[in-house]
Structure 1
Amino acid sequence: MDRWKNPTIAVIGLGYVGLPLAAALARDFDVLGFDIDATRIRELNAGHDRTNELTPDALNASKARLTDDLGALQGHDIFIVTVPTPVSEDNEPDLTAVRKAAETVGTAIGKGGIAVFESTVYPGVTEDVCGPVIEAASGLKSGTDFFLGYSPERINPGDKVHTVDKITKVVAGQTPEVAATLARIYGSMNGNRIHIAPDIKTAEASKVIENAQRDINIAFVNEIALIFERMGLSVYDVLDAARTKWNFLDFKPGLVGGHCIGVDPYYLSHAAQQMGYDPDVILSGRRINDAMGAVLAERIHKSLGIDAAKILVLGITFKENVPDIRNSKVIDVIRALELFGHSVSIYDPLADVAETKHEYGVDLIDSPANGYHAVVGAVPHAVFDELKVSELLVPGGLVADIKGIWRGMDLGDGVRRWSL
């Protein structure tokens, strides 16, 4: 279609995924970035990205127009949806955001428009869930009046190497022409590093297994860490030796949270169970990783050897050097330690104080004091490298080094250590 030759693009959802995508596409296309969070839009238009994916200079240089005005979506040719797809408290897929985004697209899309979804889902959601929602809101027919596409997001928060304009993008379309159009559009920003999947369901499936695979591998390392602990071995020493083999997969133990790895396997397992198949390996990996917070807290409690200890936890984000607190499993450690009767303070200069309070009901301290019975290294932020941990502890205090932050470092006399 003529309108696909030089299309106007609307990116819906301006978080870790949508904002960098909108900025990258705006180098070659007329791009509108939309988000329902008016505060987020004000911050971005003032040059501040709280996710730290774009610098103020990059934001100010971007040609993308950013708005929370629904009316501004009217008349665009291509709509790219990048909203989150979390799970419920029962670990069931929560498609609320993606359904609402599809409805928003339906109110704005016209004949010949393309709706592309980047949100991680199980195979079939784009065509069987999102398509009908758009039809109901627009009065148009999917595959005839408007068309669907899928291009799974592969953003790794905080990763300044594998950015959206440097990675291979998978694309799929409802028709070969749609797929070719998406390949051209996404290819314009990443040097044509494009893989065209044969259909939308295949593209959806490719994304959901990427993170499920990582989850399973981390679960294996977490399990062997607990086994080796009982043998009096450091899993980090074992991994140092094992990774000298050329084809050893280098995964590390720890907490598995965030909006992808800790969530996506449940989308795949849900789809499998709907088909009458019990995904033993996937769910076994999830059980191991979901239990790690409580297991680590129990090990720390036993190593302390006292009740009602004063404990400092370093880090609340789901991974190092990012401000993202979504689905952070550090909170599991904190709550379990509190159940043991300990008093826990949390220090994380990267996390937003208000967001952390809203999400988890806990307060962050401005800076560490001293007199702690234990310091727990939960997230290896670079800013923690310079902390003089031993000075924060009472004599005989414990350093619980979950991520090997201070491995091999001389912490001084009288400091006890616990690590996987």
Structure 2
Amino acid sequence: MLQFTDLQSKKEKICVVGLGYVGLPLSVLLAKHFDVAGLDVDTKKIEELKKGIDRTGEVDAANLAASTMTFNSDPAVIAQSKFIIVAVPTPVDENTVPDLSIVERATEMVGKYMVNDSVVVYESTVYPGVTQDVCVPILEKESNLVAGSDFKVGYSPERVNPGDKEHTIDKVVKVVSGMDDESADVIEKVYGTIAPTFRAASIRAAEAAKVIENTQRDVNIALVNELAVIFNKMGISVYDVLEAAGTKWNFLHFQPGLVGGHCIGVDPYYLTHAATQFYGYRPDVILSGRKINDDMHNIVARSIHTLCAQRGVESPTLVMLGVTFKENIPDVRNSKVAGLYKALTEKHGCTVLVYDPHADKAEVKHEYGIDLIDSLDDVTVDGCIVAVKHTEFAQMNAEALLQLLQKSGPRLLFDVKHIYNKDDIEQAGLTYWSL
């Protein structure tokens, strides 16, 4: 079997399959210690990376330029590597059923090129059992090798938080696991060179740990979202309530909001799918949380339209600041802000202009049919929706926001992310709303 010393001495190579938000920063870190080949089937992305362009914004230009890793679109590089990391997306389909097609195709590609004594590690989020019950058979079929004797597998779930420059890969504990002690040893040593590690009891335990991390967050956010709806009906600010309740030492701090992206809004469905389809158990708490969070953009849209109507504008023109699923990143996957746009325009007859300096215009148009405006110059609307806490928006004061609104209009500010001070906004002459 592959020895860690062979990787350490650069006699053997590491190949990272998938150079997105997870694979690229991981590759750059590993390349400081090992001979690393990055592989992605997106040839345009590979050409960009060779020029020092990272479309995700996760790796700064200096670190990318200084990296010794290579960028490849030819899967033949797998045959030159004995430690292979698969870091590709695992989304859900339109019916919220786990879509394993991308990881399955990546596994087929690895299997076709992998050589004897290889170690294959999966980082993609999956439900317990996928690595050994889905991926291993594919690897064996494509390679004509036998897991356990000819090659090893392991699982080390990604914990990347896009846009977070504090909790980077090297500062977050890396959960590692292998199909046996021998594989787990090598995997732990590799990841141990770049981050603190924790060895899970099994691959299935590591897979389960990953899905519950985001499921826990999803359920807690759903609770606070439901509280926001309840307290809004009572005429109480949920933020005043949370501030008071937060003085107790064991109170968990979560805030209401739109839950999108490729992790928190997706991962729970992997766990609920496995529970219902394979074990006959319906996880009501998790599914209820998903239902609440998946409907929040509709709740916000209704609130916005209701306030507009109360101020005498039935078909308002609004500007929405932000369309990415979270602040300071270009990622628009599963953006509930896009869902908010759709609800406002299709259900409530609003005209909505959308501005986001971080998002790619072509991608937003392709994914959601939304035409982003180039700037806020000359924008005059009935109301402004601050949907994403980009730094540029958080730094806007009441005067800057006021300039976007018609002098003769209702001057409405919808602070979805609760960025601004309500008193300051109202003193400037705006009507303020927040979740």
Quickly name the TM-score band, shorter chain normalised. over 0.9
Matching residue of 2:411: 397
User: Within the alignment, does 1:161 sit opposite 2:169 as a pair?
Assistant: no
Superposition pairs of residues 189-200 of structure 1, within 5 angstroms: 189-190=194-195, 193-200=196-203
Pairwise CA distance, 1:3: 4.3
Pairwise CA distance, 1:268: 0.3
2: CA distance, partners of 1:283 / 1:252? 19
Contact 1:3 1:77 (C-alpha < 8 Å) held by counterparts? no
Matching residue of 2:283: 279
Residue 346 of structure 1 aligns to which amino acid in structure 2?
Answer: V
Between the two proteins, the alignment pairs up a number of residues equal to 418
Matching residue of 1:216: 219
1: CA distance, partners of 2:90 / 2:421? 36
Select which of 35, 38, 50 maps to 1:33.
38
User: Within the alignment, does 1:252 sit opposite 2:255 as a pair?
Assistant: yes
Select which of 323, 328, 351 maps to 1:321.
328
2: CA distance, partners of 1:214 / 1:121? 17
The 3-state SS of whatever aligns with 2:291 is helix
Pairwise CA distance, 1:55: 0.6
Contact 1:123 1:205 (C-alpha < 8 Å) held by counterparts? yes
Matching residue of 2:292: 288
Superposition pairs of residues 235-384 of structure 1, within 5 angstroms: 235-274=238-277, 275-305=279-309, 306-339=313-346, 340-368=348-376, 369-384=378-393
Cα deviations by residue, 1:199-220 (Å, 9 ceiling, x for unpaired): 1101000000000000000000
1: CA distance, partners of 2:210 / 2:395? 38
Pairwise CA distance, 1:2: 5.0
The 3-state SS of whatever aligns with 1:311 is strand
The 3-state SS of whatever aligns with 1:285 is helix
1: CA distance, partners of 2:53 / 2:2? 37
Pairwise CA distance, 1:358: 1.2
Cα deviations by residue, 1:101-144 (Å, 9 ceiling, x for unpaired): 10111011111111100000000000011111111111111222
Matching residue of 1:145: 150
The 3-state SS of whatever aligns with 2:16 is strand
Contact 2:89 2:102 (C-alpha < 8 Å) held by counterparts? yes
Matching residue of 1:182: 187
Residue 335 of structure 1 aligns to which amino acid in structure 2?
Answer: K
Contact 2:2 2:119 (C-alpha < 8 Å) held by counterparts? no
Matching residue of 1:121: 126
2: CA distance, partners of 1:374 / 1:341? 14
1: CA distance, partners of 2:27 / 2:6? 16
Matching residue of 2:420: 406
The 3-state SS of whatever aligns with 1:50 is coil
1: CA distance, partners of 2:24 / 2:104? 20
Pairwise CA distance, 1:385: 2.7
2: CA distance, partners of 1:352 / 1:308? 28
2: CA distance, partners of 1:332 / 1:177? 47
Residue 398 of structure 1 aligns to which amino acid in structure 2?
Answer: L
The 3-state SS of whatever aligns with 1:195 is strand
TM-align CA RMSD: 1.2
Segment drifting more, 388-397 vs 330-339? 388-397
Cα deviations by residue, 1:61-120 (Å, 9 ceiling, x for unpaired): 111111111222212101100000000000000001100110111011111111100000
Contact 2:4 2:190 (C-alpha < 8 Å) held by counterparts? no
2: CA distance, partners of 1:377 / 1:250? 22
1: CA distance, partners of 2:255 / 2:329? 18
TM norm structure 2: 0.94
